[in-house]
Amino acid sequence: MSGWPHLRSARTVRVGSAPGTVITCGVTDTVIADVPVSVVFFFPHALDEDSLAEGLAAALAAVPAFAGRLRTTGDLLEIVCDDSGIPLEVYDLDETLPKAIGRVTLPGADFVDHVQARDARQGGLPLLTVRLTHLSDGTSALGCSFHHSVGDLASFMFLVRAWSAATEGTEPPAITLLTDPDAHLDAVLPPTDSGRPGFRLPTPEQAERLAAEFQGAVRANRTVQVYFTDAEIARLRDEVSAAAGRRLSVNDVLCGHVTNVVRGLAGDTDAARSIAMPVNVRRFLGLDEGVIGNLVGEMFVTCPPDAPAEVIAGLVRDAVTDFPRAQLNLRANRAFLESIGRSRLGECVPVGFDPDQRTFTITNWSRFGIYEITFGGKQPVFFSPTSNLQLPWVAWVVEGFDNRGLLFTIAVPARLATVLRGPVGREALHRYRDPAEELPALAGEIRKLA
């Protein structure tokens, strides 16, 4: 093995029978459907492709939407559960685990076959792809990319949990598939919500700038990964909570701290800036965890100029506490759609994607059981989002190496990325870390980890 990945095998994974179920995509499913969600699990051993394929086929029987295809009928987007299947490709790569982890966020990393999200709307293209890469040191990278119209990360992780259970012979999770998500939500949503829609219709000038942002994203932006240890997070939480005069959550203080540091190093402290945070609404609405779909709302908080970490963290905490009344916006989304007409839905963009205003979108993927997944008797040693499109001011939070600490992944303009990775950036980001603290072995081997 040498150089770039060498294809070992390729197959299409199917259940073997098609339920024929048709799922009518809801408003949220349709608005966020043009960008794929791509992730990579790194394992400390060589995964067996035959076992993976058999387990995935069994899991798809419980979550058939991932093996289906999209179609557009009039103004509606639908998923046809026709068992068209999942492409599973296996590659060999002359690269070690630390080196692979070090470049996983690069657009050309080649650990994932990104689904063609926009083109898939017209049908014929897969809604999930799987790539297994065997590394030269006997380890593996399992890259998955899924179409956002099928569901959120919680939905994907229920598929992966069912996949793991099938390969390991353990009890699968309980899963509920909705055929009309919006109709199902009607029965559980409160009659009124925040009244603030989570997406907007840009002006022609704004749309032109957003298109330019997409076209220039790979050239203009870089992805930075910041690792916070458990001890560092505990100290951060204690000190920021003390400054705020109340007990704050880990998510509150981490968002407050990183936002404050990034704004300061970017020289962006003179204007009020906002943070958009997708929220899993299942528990707020009393839904089962295993309901498949995009059961997400969005918190939106505006921070005053030059806000310290404790102020930002406090605003996030207030938004969480008052989420059902002041932040839930699923009915507001529908009202907005009715005001513009469903035919214009494709022109809308999430409120959180606003590079002009440098709106920070932070998605927390922790506590989804990512490091509990088992294939071949072992759990992942590392997990990361990855993308072929580095849009600025977008971030994810997930557990770190071997399920220890937290990894904050953020895409920012290239010049700012250089600062964050340099001595000044690291000192600011890790002001709560004991310099003598020993980091996980893999963290010390990854050159560009901040």
How far is the CA of 370 from the CAs of 102, 112, 208, 216, in angstroms? 19, 17, 38, 32
What does DSSP assign to residue 68? S
432 or 342: whose pLDDT is higher? 432
431 has pLDDT over 50: yes
> What pLDDT score does 16 carry?
97
With cut-offs at 50, 70 and 90, classify the pLDDT of residue 2. Answer: very low
| 3 state DSSP class of 253 | helix
Show the DSSP H helices in 169-308 as ranges.
181-186, 204-215, 217-220, 230-244, 250-265, 282-285
- Average pLDDT on 123-128 reads 96
Domain 194-368+382-445 has CATH 3.40.309.10: no
Residues 22-68: tens digit of each pLDDT: 999 999 998 888 889 999 999 999 999 999 999 999 999 999 999 99
Whether residue 132 contacts residue 113, with contact meaning beta carbons closer than 8 Å, is answered with no
Place of tokens 């499109």: 389
Percent of the chain at pLDDT above 70?
A: 99
276 has pLDDT over 70: yes
- Average pLDDT on 397-413 reads 97
Tell me which of 3.30.559.10, 3.40.50.300, 3.40.30.10, 3.50.50.60 is the CATH number of domain 6-185.
Answer: 3.30.559.10
Extended beta strands in 5-93, E state? 6-13, 22-24, 37-43, 69-73, 76-80, 86-93
Q: Where in the chain is the domain with CATH 3.30.559.10?
A: 6-185, 194-368+382-445
> What pLDDT score does 3 carry?
62
Dist CA 65 CA 59 (whole Å):
11
282 has pLDDT over 90: yes
How far is the CA of 396 from the CAs of 86, 361, 383, in angstroms? 26, 8, 12
Whether residue 84 contacts residue 68, with contact meaning beta carbons closer than 8 Å, is answered with yes
- Average pLDDT on 369-383 reads 98
* H/E stretch holding 163: helix 153-168
> What pLDDT score does 1 carry?
41
